[in-house]
């Protein structure tokens, strides 16, 4: 029986590889071998398979293969080897038939799609003893889309694996990921430190109850306060959850310290989450018409316009809440001067200043916390996304004078979950290092410079942002088209607005990744904007 391992065989877990290596040492040399079939666009990738499995000493057959030899791209290894016409003389068909006749009784239909584009491909056959067959990983049929609620338009690709800066879809295509889960994967996809932290903590304590203390939560709260200068923390799972927690905290403070004041000034084009309170707080166009009646208590001002804030203040006002950089609006920063003026205004009027740092915190701007860039410290700050590096955890931090929750005011089933807190501790230990943050700033400058060069060459608009949260303004509304074409070329980016592209690479991006992404983006810009010129 033979099995297909797609591409380099990286789907085989570490424990499987180790088990393979261990058991190979006990297999008689003359045991009947069976083939593993590996398909890769590069011979060097296919040749990695035996090393990945620890079977490099066993026999192997490598064949160059061109996708034009395939009758139908959806053909599986089974159909190619078992049902294709006997008259076919392509190297792949002949080799599979030969392997089938001499080494195995049957080929498994793995539904492994072959490459879409006419590139040279290597097909490799590796032979292992029957005793190891159960350990080989192969594809199962892909599930249907119909059972997920259609909450957003998604591309047809199904992503099955990530490593560092890269994602792979179910067809084996590789993508440079400049979304990273919307700035969630601070260290890229599946960094070993997260895998190790999850494995270690999952053998000790998963979740006891938010009504009792656990060690990872206490350690993480202490470390966050030490690094930020805040005094107390409440943990959640999502950004919306802790932003709502910040709103509740401000309202509780207003009730006890400001004669019942409860209104919060937020900003046009802001984004604070998708529960009812944070949608009302957000300034996203059209959201006031969804799920009516909208929750009251939020007045809207304009970013970087202090006069509009002054006009919104009344006796019911308790706080001003904003993102240091409005990500969903197209990466629009609040100016340092505006933030300083807000801090002074809040101090003079006895109001709280709340920073939503769900996206800008945890190293994204090149500082551990966004407020450190301007030197303006809020009374309350929320964190999320990069705080877990890919796992769901968020936090609301407060200074002592406004940390007024009492028993029963706030809670959550997974608040301070030890599994997530253990991961966050490891991620934070990397993010806090001065050399790491210097790297974020350095690579961010490189990406920004490259985007500015593309903008100049193509006659586009400004480049905005800091660190590795950047946006490129277009001169038309082609951003969705550019996103689709970039994806087709193996680059994932975001259309924050119809006329704006947003880039959120992993914080430990390499120079080579940035150069690769800029080259791809530049080619797509030229193709979409000047197709006739490119064709010529």
Is residue 173 annotated as a catalytic residue, yes or no?
no
Catalytic, out of 267, 355, 385, 503: 385
Of 457, 385, 465, 373, which is closest to residue 427 (Cα–Cα)? 385
Backbone angles phi, psi at 418, to 5 degrees: -65, -30
Q: Which CATH architecture has domain 159-189+435-535?
A: Alpha-Beta Complex (3.90)
Q: How many CB atoms lie within 10 A of CB 230?
A: 23
SS3 content of the chain, % helix, strand, coil (to 5): 40, 20, 40
Residue 330 contacts residue 500 (beta carbons within 8 Å): yes
Q: Which of 6, 45, 177, 356 is catalytic?
A: 356
In whole angstroms, give the CA distance from residue 472 to residue 237: 31
- Residue 328 in contact with residue 284, Cβ under 8 Å? yes
Whole-Å CA distances, 133 to 27, 33, 39, 107, 418: 13, 10, 18, 13, 38
pLDDT at 178: 98
Q: What is the pLDDT of residue 141?
A: 57
| CA separation for the pair 437, 172 (Å, rounded) | 33
Per-10-residue mean pLDDT of the chain, 536 residues long, equals 34 45 42 40 40 38 36 31 37 44 34 33 40 39 82 89 92 92 97 96 95 97 98 98 98 96 98 97 92 94 98 98 97 98 98 98 98 97 98 98 96 95 98 98 98 97 97 96 96 97 98 98 94 61
**CATH 3.90.1150.10 segments of the chain:** 159-189+435-535
DSSP for 139-202, please give it. Answer: --PPPPSTTS---S---S--EEEEEBTEEEETT--EEEESSHHHHT-TT-BS-HHHHHHHHHHH
102-107-113-114 Cα dihedral, nearest 10 degrees: 10
- Give the pair of three-digit tokens for residue 42: 């590069």
Domain limits, CATH 3.40.640.10, in the chain: 192-432
Looking at 126, 235, 267, 271, which residue is catalytic? 271
d(CA 336, CA 533): 43
CATH class of 192-432: alpha beta
> Phi and psi for 351 in degrees, rounded to 5?
-110, 160
């Amino acid at each position: 029986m033979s099995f297909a391992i797609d591409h380099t065989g990286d789907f085989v877990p570490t424990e499987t590889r180790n088990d393979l290596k261990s058991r190979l040492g006990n297999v008689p040399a003359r045991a009947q071998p069976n083939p593993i079939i590996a398909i890769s666009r590069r011979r060097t990738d296919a040749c990695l398979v035996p090393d990945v499995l620890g079977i490099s000493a066993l026999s192997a057959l490598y064949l160059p293969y061109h996708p034009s030899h395939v009758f139908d791209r959806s053909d599986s290894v089974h159909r190619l080897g078992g049902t294709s016409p006997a008259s076919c003389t392509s190297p792949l068909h002949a080799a599979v038939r030969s392997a089938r006749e001499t080494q195995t009784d049957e080929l498994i239909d793995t539904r492994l799609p072959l490459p879409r584009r006419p590139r040279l491909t290597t097909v490799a056959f590796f032979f292992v003893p029957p005793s190891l067959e159960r350990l080989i990983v192969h594809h199962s049929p892909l599930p249907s889309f119909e059972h997920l609620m259609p909450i957003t338009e998604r591309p047809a690709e199904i992503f099955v694996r990530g490593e560092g800066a890269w994602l792979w879809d179910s067809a084996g295509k590789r993508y440079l990921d400049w979304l990273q889960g919307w700035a969630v994967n601070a260290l890229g996809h599946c960094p070993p430190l997260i895998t190790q932290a999850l494995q270690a903590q999952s053998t000790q304590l998963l979740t006891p109850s938010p009504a009792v203390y656990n060690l990872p939560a206490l350690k993480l709260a202490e470390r966050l306060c030490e690094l930020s200068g805040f005094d107390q923390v409440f943990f959640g799972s999502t950004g919306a959850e802790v932003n709502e927690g910040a709103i509740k905290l401000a309202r509780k403070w207003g009730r006890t310290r400001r004669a019942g004041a409860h209104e919060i000034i937020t900003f046009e084009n802001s984004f604070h989450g998708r529960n009812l309170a944070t949608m009302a707080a957000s300034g996203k166009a059209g959201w006031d018409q969804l799920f009516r009646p909208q929750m009251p208590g939020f007045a809207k001002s304009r970013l970087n316009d202090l006069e509009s804030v002054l006009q919104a203040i009344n006796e019911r006002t308790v706080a001003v809440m904003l993102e240091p950089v409005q990500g969903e609006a197209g990466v629009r920063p609040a100016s340092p001067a505006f933030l300083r003026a807000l801090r002074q205004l809040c101090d003079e009027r006895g109001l709280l200043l709340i920073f939503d740092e769900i996206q800008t915190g945890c190293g994204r701007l090149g500082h551990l916390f966004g407020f450190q860039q301007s030197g303006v410290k809020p009374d309350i700050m929320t964190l999320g996304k990069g705080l877990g590096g890919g796992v769901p955890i968020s936090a609301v931090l407060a200074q002592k004078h406004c940390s007024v929750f009492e028993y029963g005011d706030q809670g959550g089933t997974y608040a301070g979950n030890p599994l997530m807190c253990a991961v966050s501790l490891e991620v934070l230990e990397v993010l806090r290092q001065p050399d790491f943050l210097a790297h974020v700033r350095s690579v961010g400058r490189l990406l920004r410079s490259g985007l500015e060069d593309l903008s100049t060459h193509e006659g586009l608009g400004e480049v905005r942002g800091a660190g590795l949260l950047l946006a490129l303004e277009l001169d038309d509304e082609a951003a969705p088209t550019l996103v689709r074409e970039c994806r087709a070329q193996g680059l994932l980016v975001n259309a924050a607005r119809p006329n704006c592209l947003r880039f959120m690479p992993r914080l430990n991006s390499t120079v080579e990744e940035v150069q690769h992404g800029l080259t791809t983006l530049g080619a797509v810009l030229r193709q979409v904007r000047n197709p006739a010129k490119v064709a010529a």
